[in-house]
Structure 1
Amino acid sequence: MSLREEARAWLTGNLYGSGPFAHARGLGGPGREHEAHEVRQAWERHLGKAGWTCLSWPVEHGGRNATLADQVAFYEEYARADAPARVGHIGEGLIGPTILEHGTAEQKARFLPPIQRGDELWCQGYSEPEAGSDLANVQTKAEISGNEWVITGQKVWTSLAHVAGWCFALCRTEPGSSRHRGLSYLLVPMDQPGVEVRPIVQLTGTSEFNEVFFDGARTAAGNIVGAPGDGWRVAMATLGYERGASTLGRQIGFRRELDRVVEAAQASGAADDPVLRDRLARAWLELEVMRLNGLRDPAMAITKLYWSEWHRRLGELAQEVQGRAGLVAEDGELNDLQRLYLFSRADTIYAGSSEIQRNLIAERTLGLPR
């Protein structure tokens, strides 16, 4: 039996009919991260127990050493099953691979198993009020005191910090350093004095993003990935995973959203408009190009620029196909397409704005002068 067939059978048995998680189908997603968190974490643990998390990881660390083709097959079947949005993706897709590449044996033994099991959730402590796309301007400080790092500063736009048990944080550990030098990559427990999480209310009315304040927060001296001062290199490795194979799962979600937009256009009669019909066809073609480029693994900046601009256009299209009905939230609740429109406005800003991505493409891919 192929991995695709195995995944399809397992997902069907667990999400349909009398399956134990039939009630969880379709829960969560961008702008809907508030939905049924406890149910979705229970699902994460269920996935881990059955061996469906961390597919690309080595077998000795709980994975399947799956090929890229098998990972794509799983993502596709996961989307077709309308499985709930994952809550462990930051651990599995970002910090896990980073620890596998740059971590010590002790860090692998401590942190990888609970990620694979779905027991520990993570958030990413990169952006700050003065260091968003310009990440090298990080000002959060950490200094050694005895056998601990003491951390002071602020992070912002920290996805899922309110439910995460751990944060991987980029901090300035060399006084007087600037830009890429003097940064270190620390693993910080969230449940401790000195860590305050404040939700940021979004256009959708939900709070997936947060501000995180470190006021003397502590972590063990050994919870540093890479050498002190080498944090920039490690952080860039993490970003490579963020925009690499893990984006294939996002694209499958995009396909499901596009299908809903097409259905709404047919229901409202908007599909009869030849201009809108052409835009729907173009969106489908561009998504196919995105998928093929994802398999080819192009430059990271190109990938991020492409999917974020495409998704924002899809959000605008989602609003248009609804017509006047899209302007009203019934009973104060946004429908899926309204939420798509509002949430996708942020896509071209977070994880590196489109302007910054174009600079990276020009300088690093095309070799143009600064």
Structure 2
Amino acid sequence: MESFRREVREWLSANLVGEFAELRGLGGPGREHEAFEGRLRWHRHLARSGWTCLGWPGERSVQEQVVFHEEYAEADAPAKVDIVGEGLLGPTLVAFGTPAQKERFLPKIKSLDELWCQGYSEPNAGSDLANVQTKAALVNGQWVINGQKIWTSNAHYSDWIFVLCRTEPGSQRHHGLSYLLVPMNQAGIEVRPIRQLTGTSEFNEVFFDGAVTAEENIVGQPGEGWKIAMATLGFERGTAMLGHQVSFRRQLDAIMAAAPDHMREKLTRAWLELHVMRSHTLRTMNDDPGPEASVLKLFWGGWHRRLGELAMESLGPESMLDGNEWQRMFLFSRAETIYGGSDEIQREIISHRILGLPK
């Protein structure tokens, strides 16, 4: 494994040069607007060199994925632009897609020729995702879609969206939902960016007014959408989280270097918790994400939010100045205990599916 680590490190050192060197540290949650076109060129360069979609079956072992994500973060390489396609939809299609769907979509995800976003949350179906009301009906060989999605990351950059919608009239909750693959570039779809506390707009509202997609662009059978949507969320907690933890450690190191002495106990606790997070991630990592993924989501979301608070405390009054990097992290980390499944929902999953508590 050390030889593979050396290979990754040497490749990153040799390729993060020229225009790509200027992208170091750019992008990521709350900063998706940064050098998007440049990061897309970098991501396609990664693809041509065989460094994308490492988590797909038959690509790389879990140990190799861990090494790659850690070295990628250590190199301060720019954030990838299509983690939704590569990390969420790709594994979902590998597991549930038809041979035709795999042939049509997987190569273009891998090459970054098509970018994806996720159509889950709605104004009244965020944490309570089973309350989805966006509807689709099969008409003359096409699914016709009407409704609204919200908090759709990078919808304004995306070519396709996978949509959880209600295809069985009169159905409720987890029943009657389907998982559709829908092209974004059509008259029936409108994207409206949402301005965030950070002043950026990586989240969007997406409106469907008679939007269409081909009948065969359904993953699984009609009514199986909930099962497939939950599998997609499970893939979100994969080996890439170890790369995020390297970034978390670098943020913590920077805060510790600048913090006053009276914060030592809080920072020591944060350091210990980060090591616990890494140990838990390694211990529960496998190819079939289960409810343990909710423990990790609950842990890292709360930890990073608390780190943002420590960053503001370490800076004191200066933390209130606009444009401060720690202020941006503090503000955006508020969302990390909500998106991808709120803390309340993660606790529900843990209580029922791990602890076996009654509803």
Interval of TM-score (by shorter of Structure 1 and Structure 2): over 0.9
Whole-angstrom distance in 1 between the partners of 2:247 and 2:134: 34
Residue in 2 aligned with 1:208? 202
Moved more, 291-300 or 155-164: 291-300
> Is 1:161 the equivalent of 2:165?
no
Residue in 2 aligned with 1:293? 280
Whole-angstrom distance in 2 between the partners of 1:252 and 1:145: 49
Residue in 1 aligned with 2:115? 121
Whole-angstrom distance in 2 between the partners of 1:53 and 1:126: 25
SS at match of 2:190: strand
Residue in 1 aligned with 2:129? 135
SS at match of 1:162: helix
Q: Contact 1:107–1:223 at 8 Å: present in 2 too?
A: yes
One of 348, 358, 363 as aligned partner of 2:352: 363
Whole-angstrom distance in 1 between the partners of 2:213 and 2:257: 50
Write the deviation string for residues 162-199 of structure 1: whole angstroms up to 9, x where unpaired: 10111111010010111111100000111111111111
Q: Which runs of 5+ in 2 are unaligned?
A: 285-290
Residue in 1 aligned with 2:60? 66
Whole-angstrom distance in 1 between the partners of 2:310 and 2:60: 36
Q: Contact 1:11–1:81 at 8 Å: present in 2 too?
A: yes
Whole-angstrom distance in 1 between the partners of 2:280 and 2:156: 34
Whole-angstrom distance in 1 between the partners of 2:139 and 2:95: 27
The TM-score with structure 2 as length reference comes to: 0.95
Q: Contact 2:69–2:240 at 8 Å: present in 1 too?
A: no
Number of residue pairs matched? 352
- What is the CA-CA distance between 1:20 and the residue it aligns to? 4.7
- What is the CA-CA distance between 1:144 and the residue it aligns to? 0.7
Q: Contact 1:28–1:34 at 8 Å: present in 2 too?
A: yes
Write the deviation string for residues 199-235 of structure 1: whole angstroms up to 9, x where unpaired: 1111100011111000000111111000011111111
Whole-angstrom distance in 1 between the partners of 2:100 and 2:4: 31
Residue in 2 aligned with 1:62? none
SS at match of 1:369: coil
Residue in 1 aligned with 2:172? 178
Residue in 1 aligned with 2:211? 217
Q: Contact 1:8–1:77 at 8 Å: present in 2 too?
A: yes
Residue in 2 aligned with 1:254? 248
Q: How does 1:344-363 map to 2 (within 5 A)?
A: 344-363=333-352
Supply the RMSD in Å over aligned alpha carbons: 1.3
Q: Percent identity?
A: 64
Residue in 2 aligned with 1:48? 47
> Is 1:309 the equivalent of 2:302?
yes
Residue in 1 aligned with 2:324? 335
Whole-angstrom distance in 1 between the partners of 2:19 and 2:320: 37
The TM-score with structure 1 as length reference comes to: 0.92
Whole-angstrom distance in 1 between the partners of 2:280 and 2:174: 30
Whole-angstrom distance in 1 between the partners of 2:42 and 2:149: 29
